[in-house]
Amino acid sequence: MSRYRLAQKSGIAQSSISTLLNRKSVPTIQTLEKICDGFGITLSQFFAEDDKVLDLTKDQEELLKDWNSMDSRQQELVKAYIQGIIRK
């Protein structure tokens, strides 16, 4: 993901992202949360080692892996489908 795209998705200025990536400043927790939102991950996933998602069942890990391989349109369709099931 480019710095420009991350800036768009996270709502953080591109210059701020560049400063962080060039190790000229240390991000706050709020900034890390925004970056994680931009990547579509949680802080727990951000800090997890060996690409392991913390506290998830095998089925949940598989679903998350599938989710991460979808584009944003597919994710929106899945969310709408799930909400439809829940509200029935």
CA proximity to 9, closest of 51, 40, 31? 40
CA 77 vs CA 8, 17, 72, 82: distances in Å: 22, 30, 9, 9
Are 4 and 44 members of one domain?
Answer: yes
Say how many Å lie between the first and final Cα of the chain, rounded: 38
Q: Domain span at residue 61? A: 56-88
Are 34 and 73 members of one domain?
Answer: no
pTM over 0.75: no
pLDDT in tens, 27-82: 999 999 999 989 888 888 788 877 665 667 788 888 988 999 999 999 999 999 99
Tell me what pLDDT residue 53 has. 54
What 3-state DSSP class applies to 69?
coil
Are 11 and 35 members of one domain?
Answer: yes
| Mean pLDDT over each residue of the chain, to the nearest integer | 87
